[in-house]
Amino acid sequence: MAATKEEIIAGLGEIVNEIAGIPAEDVLEDKSFTDDLDVDSLSMVEVVVAAEERFEVKIPDDDVKGLKTVGDAANYILTHQS
């Protein structure tokens, strides 16, 4: 069953916590990965790959650049998940 937006944000929280060590509860919809969560461009790739596996979605490199905030990523996953 497809994940809800809330479930996706919670899942991204766990992924960001695992990769960047940021507390999962700080990973909120309006947070910027680079400016607020200390996720640099390379860590972002790791976040994306982990999210792809978790939510069964493909996120091509060209689309990664458009994912500035947690909300951007959640919306992308929501509309692209199988």
Partner 1 sequence: MTATISPGTGAPHARILGVGGYRPARVVPNEEILKHIDSSDEWIRSRSGIVTRHWAGEDETVASMSLDAAGKAIADAGITADQVGAVVVATVSHFMQTPSVATEIAHKLGTGQAAAFDISAACAGFGYGLAVGKGLIVSGSARYVLVIGVERLSDLTDKEDRSTAFLFGDGAGAVVLGPSEEPAMGPTVWGSEGDKADVIAQTVPWDRFRIGDVSDLPVDSSGEVKFPALRQEGQTVFRWAVFEMAKVAQQALDAAGITAADLDVFIPHQANMRIIDSMVKTLKLPEHVAIARDVETTGNTSAASIPLAMERMLATGQAKSGDTALVIGFGAGLVYAATVVTLP
- Per CB under 8 A, residues contacting partner 1 are 40-42, 44-46, 48-49, 61, 64
CA 23, CA 1: separation in Å to the nearest integer? 27
CA 56, CA 77: separation in Å to the nearest integer? 9
**Single-letter residue type at 70:** V
Beta carbon of residue 17, minimum distance to partner 1 (angstroms, whole number): 15
Q: Where are the alpha helices (DSSP H) in the chain?
A: 5-20, 41-55, 61-64, 70-80
Beta carbon of residue 24, minimum distance to partner 1 (angstroms, whole number): 19
Beta carbon of residue 41, minimum distance to partner 1 (angstroms, whole number): 6
**12 or 47: CB nearest partner 1:** 47
* CA-wise closest residue to 58 among 79, 39, 81, 78: 81
**2 or 49: CB nearest partner 1:** 49
**7 or 46: CB nearest partner 1:** 46
